[in-house]
Amino acid sequence: MLNKKEARLRRSKATRARIARLSATRLAVHRSNTHIYASIVSGDGSRVLASASTLERELREQLPAGGGNVAAAQLVGRRIAEKARAAGIEQVAFDRSGFQYHGRVKALAEAAREAGLKF
C-alpha cells in the first residue's frame, strides 16, 4: 500500500515521461502546506531556467497571510511568467508533479497563463 507521497510521485511519473519524450521546456510546480514553488526546467532536464516561490523576499513582503493560500499561488504564477518571458521563454509544458489540478496549483497555472505564458 502506498502512502500519500509515494502515490503522488507515482502519478507524476507518467507526465514527466511524456514531457521528456517531447523534449519540452516544463513548468514544474511543487507545493507544501506553507509554500508553493514553480521552476522552469530546460527540455533535457539539465538546468533550471527560472524559478519563483513564496520564499522570495519580494513576494513575502506582498503576502500578509503567508504562502499557503490561493493568493500566494497567483503571485508566484505571475512572477514565474514574468521571469520566463524575460528569459525568452513563451511556451512550456505544465508539470503539476502529481498534485491535483485544483486550488493552489490551478491558481498558479491560470495566473501564469494570464501573464502571457502558453501551456
Q: Give the pLDDT confidence score for residue 2 in this predicted structure.
A: 84
Q: Is residue 73 a contact partner of residue 105, using CB atoms and an 8 Å limit?
A: yes
Instruction: Quote the cell numbers at residue 1.
Output: 500500500
Residue 64 has a pLDDT of: 81
Average pLDDT of the residues in 83-93: 96
Of the candidates 56, 57, 16, the one whose C-alpha atom is nearest the C-alpha of residue 36 is 56
CATH code of the domain made up of 4-114 = 3.30.420.100
Residue with cell 525568452: 88
**Residue spans per domain, the chain:** 4-114
Angle at 55 between CA 50 and CA 58, to 5 degrees: 80
List pLDDT tens digits, range 32-79: 999 999 999 999 989 999 999 999 999 999 988 888 899 999 999 999
pTM given for the model:
0.93
* Angle at 14 (CA atoms; ends 54, 34), nearest 5 degrees: 20
Distance CA 91, CA 33 (A): 29
- State residue 40's pLDDT score: 97
pLDDT over 90, % of the chain:
90
Cβ(105)–Cβ(98) under 8 Å?
A: no
Does 98 have pLDDT greater than 90?
A: yes
Determine the Cα–Cα distance for residues 15 and 26; give it in Å rounded to an integer: 11
